[in-house]
């Protein structure tokens, strides 16, 4: 291994942290001290556990359906669960699982709430709040987001299990940062304890779920790297912590062949009929239109149809969790969720007519190629870690290193093409990175056609950063500004207001460009403007991305671009406006 890489990996090894093996044991003890909750769903339909339900669906030639729901208050969320039950009863359509998505704040201990920007979705504070979901109706409730890998993971894992959640996620989200929270040792020691708790519930088929696109793979440019990385997570969860792993995916892997081949690869390597690895397919989120939104039913339904067909053929017990046609606009309403699930269920009615015409050999060939190269990627990681002195049998050390690893560098370091050809070259490119570069090319071409050139910004120094974990808008802005002649300093993702201004001060520039997507732009802007005032300095603050927020008395996020402009933020998604305004800023 190259010496610089070896030194880099060494520098990521945590010092003075507890031994992860001991933390797993502590977790198992905590897990043995309480029982998992028995839900209204299991009671009403007479299943021993949720896996038995999914197997029952397979055996009866049916698909298990799920919705992801994160409404703006706890009351609305509970009411939404009841409404889904009513919808199932009225239409005869069984959509019996909800993955509830609370606010990011639920992942933070409450003492941090006051100073954190307020994102979309609802809050929970006590064990009864979790229980209220699974007691509301015979609908199975699952918690993944902001649970297993958040700073508050120990409390939320226990609460979710006591409320009967059949899986706890999301392992891959360990790379997410939380505003104002910096105690890595506590957060990840607790995460290993939580994995121990889940391990203690193995016989109840409770799993630790992951969702690659929310973690390092969200930055990867090759589907092969997804496979290799998942082998690594499987090694940590199953081999080091003794917990059962499950995996959901699909938001970003939207091209049908690699999408389905990835599922088959996971099933072939890590799953079986009795112990499935795949929990659900999430609907694709990147190909959606933000105009004439009903057209999105077209792409969504064909995606669900192939998932149904693959499920019928390979019997992996994978649920389908469709994404509303409004995905590109904002968090969906309840009715929008029902509409897309109903469309999928109607496609299911016809699937048996398609099945005899299907030839799955293309998918199987791609699956085998992904497996071969993915295994090579995994072996490269393990060899690299060992050579750099990582204790690869300590789950805490492994998790902390993943958290600290630069995601893009991670892929380039271990990708098998590097050993083969000397440089990184994706074998089966992932969608979003490629699409973002295509959008960038088009924007730059249009700007050049309008008379801008590669010296237009005359090496003006600009700090760019993402206010949350979304990186592609940032990548786009960085590349456009760079090609129009700016000197771009990229602060990366999860950058807090103070850090953005610190970076601008260090670099001696007043130009700060923020990309934000989580509905936090109003709070973020207030904070950054107050800080600028305190520093008695003038900055030019630009902002783009998803310029919306949850306002009091509203149940859906609303556009706040005008409010931001009134506050003094140059808020717009227009790249030409950005380029022109930067040119005029002193
Ligand atoms: C990819 C994605 C993710 C990936 C991100 C991976 C990564 N490495 O970036 C993952 C899966 C991790 C993710 C997670 C979450 N996401 Co997300 N995500 C998306 C998705 C599908 C695409 C965003 C994207 O990258 N587009 C490609 C880029 C190139 O386009 P863009 O970002 O739209 O940017 C355009 C313009 O806005 C502009 N632009 C962007 N920034 C800037 C800045 C300036 C200054 C300017 C001028 C222009 C500009 O440039 C682009 C031009 O076309 C959107 C839905 C959608 N289809 O848009 C949801 C979406 C943004 N996510 C959303 C949410 C809620 C989340 C989560 C909170 C969900 C959760 N699990 O709880 C987490 C938060 C994670 C975190 N830590 O921050 C919501 C936001 C809701 C809202 N505000 O109303 C959306 C809209 C989905 C939805 N309908 O609910 N997400």
- Structure confidence by residue, pLDDT tens digits, 143-174: 999 999 999 999 999 999 999 999 999 999 99
Cα angle 138-165-157, degrees, rounded to a multiple of 5: 150
Q: Which two tokens stand for residue 300?
A: 């969504």
**363 domain residue, yes or no:** no
Residue 40 in contact with ligand 1 by CB distance below 6 A: no
Query: What CA–CA distance (Å, rounded) separates 554 from 444?
Result: 38
Residue 549 in contact with ligand 1 by CB distance below 6 A: no
**62 domain residue, yes or no:** yes
User: Could you tell which of 121, 285, 492, 517 is best to mutate to test the pocket of ligand 1, judged by most ligand atoms within 8 Å of the CB?
Assistant: 517
Are 441 and 325 in a shared domain?
A: no
Cα angle 140-283-192, degrees, rounded to a multiple of 5: 60
pLDDT band at 431 (very low <50, low <70, confident <90, very high): confident
Residue whose CA lies nearest to ligand 1 atom number 87? 327
Query: What CA–CA distance (Å, rounded) separates 518 from 470?
Result: 9
| pLDDT above 90: residue 368 | yes
**200 domain residue, yes or no:** yes
**404 domain residue, yes or no:** no
Q: How does DSSP classify residue 101? A: -
Q: What pLDDT shows up at residue 101? A: 95
**427 domain residue, yes or no:** no
In the numeric block, the tokens 């998918």 are attached to 363
Residue 71 in contact with ligand 1 by CB distance below 6 A: no
Q: Which of 86-90, 152-156, 333-337, 563-567 has the lowest mean pLDDT?
A: 333-337
Are 120 and 224 in a shared domain?
A: yes
Structural Rg of the chain based on CA atoms = 24
Residue 515 in contact with ligand 1 by CB distance below 6 A: yes
Sign of the four-CA dihedral 551, 554, 557, 562? negative
Are 329 and 457 in a shared domain?
A: no
The answer to whether 452 and 247 are in contact (CB under 8 A) is: no
Taking the CA of residue 214 as reference, the ligand 1 atom at the shortest distance is 12
In the numeric block, the tokens 């989120």 are attached to 285
Are 28 and 159 in a shared domain?
A: yes
CATH of residue 34: 3.20.20.240
- CB contact set of 273 (below 8 Å; sequence gap of 6+): 315, 317
| pLDDT above 90: residue 530 | yes
Final residue in a domain of this structure, among 354, 387, 422:
354
| pLDDT above 80: residue 553 | no
**341 domain residue, yes or no:** yes
Quick one: what percent of the chain has pLDDT higher than 90?
87
Q: Is 44 helix (H, G, I), strand (E, B) or coil?
A: helix
C-alpha distance across the termini of the chain, in Å: 46
Query: What CA–CA distance (Å, rounded) separates 158 from 96?
Result: 23
- The mean pLDDT value for 552-574 works out to 92
- List Cα–Cα distances, 2 to 91, 380, 418, in angstroms: 61, 13, 12
Q: Which two tokens stand for residue 209?
A: 């779920």
Are 107 and 193 in a shared domain?
A: yes
Are 475 and 329 in a shared domain?
A: no
Range list of β-strands (E), 314-398:
319-321
Q: Is 263 helix (H, G, I), strand (E, B) or coil?
A: helix
Final residue in a domain of this structure, among 316, 334, 354:
354
pLDDT band at 437 (very low <50, low <70, confident <90, very high): confident
pLDDT digits (tens, 9 = 90+) for 460-484: 999 999 999 898 999 999 999 999 9
| pLDDT above 80: residue 120 | no
CATH of residue 484: 3.40.50.280
**392 domain residue, yes or no:** no
Residue 581 in contact with ligand 1 by CB distance below 6 A: no
Final residue in a domain of this structure, among 354, 378, 410:
354
pLDDT digits (tens, 9 = 90+) for 215-261: 999 989 899 999 999 999 999 999 999 999 999 999 999 999 999 99
Q: What pLDDT shows up at residue 433? A: 80
Cα angle 403-404-408, degrees, rounded to a multiple of 5: 90
Q: Which domain holds residue 40?
A: 3-354
pLDDT band at 271 (very low <50, low <70, confident <90, very high): very high
Residue 573 in contact with ligand 1 by CB distance below 6 A: yes
Residue whose CA lies nearest to ligand 1 atom number 61? 517
- The CB-side HSE value for 158 (13 A sphere, CA atoms) comes to 15
pLDDT digits (tens, 9 = 90+) for 53-68: 999 999 999 999 999 9
Structurally, the chain folds into a number of domains equal to 2
Taking the CA of residue 327 as reference, the ligand 1 atom at the shortest distance is 89
């Amino acid at each position: 291994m190259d010496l610089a890489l070896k030194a880099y990996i060494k520098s990521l090894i945590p010092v003075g942290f507890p031994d992860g093996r001991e933390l797993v044991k502590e977790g198992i003890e905590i897990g043995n001290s309480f029982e998992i909750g028995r839900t209204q769903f299991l009671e009403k339909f007479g299943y021993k556990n949720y896996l038995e339900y999914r197997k029952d669906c397979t055996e009866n030639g049916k698909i298990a359906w799920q919705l992801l729901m994160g409404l703006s208050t706890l009351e609305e969320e509970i009411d939404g669960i009841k409404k889904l039950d009513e919808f199932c009863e009225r239409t005869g359509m069984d959509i019996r699982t909800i993955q509830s998505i609370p606010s990011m704040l639920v992942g933070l201990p409450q003492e941090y709430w006051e100073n954190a920007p307020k994102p979309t979705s609802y809050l929970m504070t006590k064990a009864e709040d979790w229980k209220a979901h699974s007691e509301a109706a015979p609908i199975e409730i699952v918690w993944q987001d902001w649970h297993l890998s958040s700073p508050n993971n120990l409390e939320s894992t226990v609460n979710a299990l006591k409320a009967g959640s059949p899986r706890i996620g999301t392992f891959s989200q360990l790379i997410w940062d939380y505003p104002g929270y910096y105690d890595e040792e506590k957060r990840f020691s607790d995460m290993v304890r939580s994995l121990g708790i889940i391990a203690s519930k193995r016989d109840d088929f409770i799993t630790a779920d992951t969702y690659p696109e929310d973690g390092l793979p969200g930055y990867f440019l090759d589907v092969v790297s997804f496979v290799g990385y998942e082998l690594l997570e499987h090694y940590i969860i199953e081999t080091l912590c003794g917990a059962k792993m499950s995996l959901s995916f699909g938001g970003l892997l939207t091209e049908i062949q690699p999408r389905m081949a990835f599922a088959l690869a996971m099933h072939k390597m890590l799953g079986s009929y009795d112990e499935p690895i795949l929990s659900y397919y999430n609907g694709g989120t990147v190909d959606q239109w933000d105009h004439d939104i009903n057209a999105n039913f077209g792409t969504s339904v064909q995606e669900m149809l192939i998932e149904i067909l693959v499920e019928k053929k390979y019997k992996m017990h994978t649920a389908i969790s469709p994404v509303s046609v409004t995905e590109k606009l904002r968090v969906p309403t309840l009715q929008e969720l029902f509409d897309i699930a109903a469309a999928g269920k109607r496609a299911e009615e016809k699937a048996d007519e398609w099945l005899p015409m299907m030839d799955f050999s293309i998918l199987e060939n791609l699956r085998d190629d992904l497996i071969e190269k993915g295994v090579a990627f995994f072996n490269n990681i393990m060899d690299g870690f060992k050579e750099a002195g990582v204790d690869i049998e300590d789950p805490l050390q492994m998790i902390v290193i993943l958290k600290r690893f630069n995601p893009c560098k991670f892929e380039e370091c271990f990708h098998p093409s590097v050993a083969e050809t000397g440089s990184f070259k994706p074998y089966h490119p992932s969608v979003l990175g490629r699409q973002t570069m295509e959008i960038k090319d088009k924007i730059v071409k249009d700007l050049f056609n309008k008379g801008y050139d590669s010296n237009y910004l005359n090496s003006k120094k600009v700090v760019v950063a993402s206010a949350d974990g979304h990186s592609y808008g940032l990548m786009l802005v960085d590349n456009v500004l760079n090609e129009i002649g700016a000197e771009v300093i990229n602060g990366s993702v999860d950058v807090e207001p103070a850090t953005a201004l610190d970076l601008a001060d260090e670099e001696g520039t007043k130009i700060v460009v923020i990309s934000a997507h989580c509905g936090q732009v109003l709070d973020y802007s207030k904070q950054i403007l107050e800080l600028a005032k305190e520093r008695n300095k003038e900055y030019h603050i630009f902002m783009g991305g998803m310029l919306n927020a949850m306002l009091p008395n509203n149940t859906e996020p609303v556009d706040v671009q005008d409010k931001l402009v009134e506050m003094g933020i140059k808020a717009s998604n227009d790249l030409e406006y950005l380029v022109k305004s930067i040119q005029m800023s002193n």
